[in-house]
Amino acid sequence: MNLRAVCWLLGCVSLIVAVFLLVPAAVAYYFDEPNGVSACALSALISGAIGAMLILPNRGSRLTEEGRPDFYRREGLAVVGLVWVVAGMLGALPYLFSGLIASPVDAVFESVSGFTTTGSTILPAVDIDRFHQEMKGIGFWRSFTHWLGGFGIVMVFVVLFPTGGRSLFRSEIPGISREAGRHLVRDSAMTLMRIYVGLSVLECVLLVFAGMGVFDALIHTFGTIATGGFSNYSTSVAHFASFKVELIIGIFMFVAGINFAFYDLGLRNGFRSGWRAIVSSTEVKVYALLTFGSIFVIATVLWFWGGSNGDAALGLPDYRSYGLAMRDSFFQVICLETSTGYGTADFDQWPQVCRIWLMMLAVIGACAGSTGGGVKVIRYIIVAKAALKGVRQFIRPRALHGVRVDGVALEDSVVSSITGYFVLWIFVFLGGTVFLAVYGIDLETASTAVVATLNNIGPGLGKVGPTLNFAEMPNLVKIVLTVFMILGRLEFYAVVALFIPSFWRS
């Protein structure tokens, strides 16, 4: 392990964060918020200084004596695992310097939640509403971290160091590693970045045409394309009370949940080629079936339930209207399945079957290679096929059986890796739930808080439901949940590798 190279790369990360911190400083300046300007500018200065201290002593570590890059897979993986810790800490500085958040633990929790596109928060409603009143610069940074964490920072890394970038690229976006292998990593990164930016611009323009202000449109675009969910209103998307806004955000959340490799294919080989790949993909078909089937089922359950049944004192929507039930179901199903975390209704007050169904969708998640969270649809497909293979092997032990997806036979190592992922997920989920229960947190809150952070969803149920927050959690619990966000964002292996002693040996 070349630790000097790792330090050099982490220094680059710090400098990149410092540059990005100047953007909210400019926003705060535009809105005449001197506190926001000084908080972001000072944060940028500190990030830049840390970057310089890491880069300057190690500036010769990029090349060996023979002139070859001396960082490879292990160095790339080390940076992948550590970068979220570094970015999370540096990203917390504006919250502390602005006075919005007093506790360093809370500030890091909010920052990591932003960068990992989780969307969980420790901020009460009154503080969130300050983001559209007096702290637009800090509110912009909070949502901007979503957009940067979705794809932006990763793509900058890959462009900066393409040799070690392949490891980082595959660890960050494992669902498109096979497609990326056919092209130069830097070219694939740039293509995906153009798609990411293009979708962001398109959604922002459409939201403005739908009646949003430009600032609000930017904030909610950041949270949509990155499937993060931070809003500058305590009532989230429900604040706008606009079906057009909900429809646009819902469609783009769904689009962001599809493997970006298909969009890449469409750009390279034409729209028809990309479209054929999408409609022939087993994962996309299952993802679409889960989404639209769940929308219909939950809307029907809500309609039969009735909600308030016209009694406004109950504080629930009147779901005697099937149109309203379908509207709320449409938005919340896509929100939870893509792990975005926006809200138009308090689904924690819905019937028990709806609450459980939504949590199951959140655990399943979106497609691999998307910005969505969750375990990912393709993993469930492969595990189901592997289980069926086991049954067939039991029936006919001498026959040769394999696991195939979209006509491609998967190697046993791939199936084993996915099985290992499931085992890790279950152990962390159970261990995390027990850990939270030790602190006296009820089972519903504890289990869904772990699911919400481990799958980068945002809200859970109970005391961490869609209208509540994580502020009341003990500090040690917040630290553990922060680690869970990073684990979920990197899908375990890149983080777990850091705790294996042999990983660091030369």
For residue 499, what pLDDT is reported? 72
Tell how many helices (H) and how many strands (E) occur in the chain: 24, 2
For residue 61, what pLDDT is reported? 57
When pLDDT is averaged across residues 441-469 and rounded to a whole number, the result is 93
For residue 177, what pLDDT is reported? 43
* pTM score, whole prediction: 0.91
pLDDT in tens, 43-89: 999 999 999 999 888 766 554 444 445 566 677 777 777 888 999 99
Whole-angstrom Cα distance, residue 298 to residue 327?
Answer: 11
For residue 175, what pLDDT is reported? 43
Instruction: Please check whether residue 331 is in contact with residue 344, taking contact to mean a CB–CB distance below 8 angstroms.
Output: yes
Confidence class of residue 214 from pLDDT cuts 50, 70 and 90? very high
Name which of 493, 501, 506 is nearest 167 in CA terms: 493
Instruction: Return the bridge partners of 408, or none.
Output: 405
- C-alpha dihedral, 474 to 363 to 143 to 201, nearest 10°: 180
Helix segments in 338-399, DSSP class H? 352-364, 377-395
For residue 162, what pLDDT is reported? 53
Number of domains in the chain: 1
Encode burial over 142-158: b for 16+ CB neighbours within 10 A, e otherwise.
bbbbbbbbbbbbbbbbb
- C-alpha dihedral, 336 to 379 to 86 to 160, nearest 10°: -110
For residue 181, what pLDDT is reported? 43
pLDDT in tens, 224-248: 999 999 999 999 999 999 999 999 9
Name which of 227, 253, 465, 282 is nearest 359 in CA terms: 465
Residue 377 forms part of a structural domain: no
> What residues have CB less than 8 Å from 106, skipping those under 6 apart?
95, 122, 471, 478
Q: 491 vs 64, which has greater pLDDT?
A: 491
Name which of 8, 28, 54 is nearest 136 in CA terms: 28
Say whether pLDDT at 373 is over 80: yes
% of the chain exceeding 70 in pLDDT: 88
Tokens 């429809």 belong to residue: 247
Whole-angstrom Cα distance, residue 283 to residue 494?
Answer: 24
pLDDT in tens, 154-189: 565 565 555 545 555 554 444 434 444 444 566 677
How far is C-alpha 489 from the chain's CA centre? 6
DSSP string for 148-189: IIIIIHHHHHHHH-HHHHHHHHHHHSGGGHHHHTTS-HHHHH
Q: Give the number of other CB atoms < 10 A from CB of residue 276.
A: 15
Residue 254 forms part of a structural domain: yes
Q: Which helix (H) or strand (E) holds 83?
A: helix 73-91
How far is C-alpha 132 from the chain's CA centre? 23
Say whether pLDDT at 329 is over 80: yes
Tokens 């989780």 belong to residue: 118
Residue 77 forms part of a structural domain: yes
DSSP state of 376: -
When pLDDT is averaged across residues 371-376 and rounded to a whole number, the result is 88
Residue 502 forms part of a structural domain: no
Whole-angstrom Cα distance, residue 91 to residue 471?
Answer: 19
Whole-angstrom Cα distance, residue 389 to residue 385?
Answer: 6
Instruction: Please check whether residue 55 is in contact with residue 8, taking contact to mean a CB–CB distance below 8 angstroms.
Output: yes
Residue 203 forms part of a structural domain: yes
Task: Work out the widest C-alpha separation in the chain, in whole angstroms.
Answer: 78
What percent helix, strand, coil does the chain show, rounded to 5? Answer: 70, 0, 25
- Tokens standing for 208? 């403005």
Residue 48 forms part of a structural domain: yes
pLDDT in tens, 247-277: 999 999 999 999 888 998 888 888 888 899 8
Q: Give the number of other CB atoms < 10 A from CB of residue 35.
A: 16
Q: What is the mean pLDDT of the chain?
A: 86
Residue 365 forms part of a structural domain: no
For residue 220, what pLDDT is reported? 96
- CA distance from start to end of the chain: 5
Residue 272 forms part of a structural domain: no
For residue 67, what pLDDT is reported? 43
- Tokens standing for 268? 């390279």
pLDDT in tens, 109-133: 999 999 999 999 999 999 999 999 8
Q: Which domain holds residue 62?
A: 3-261
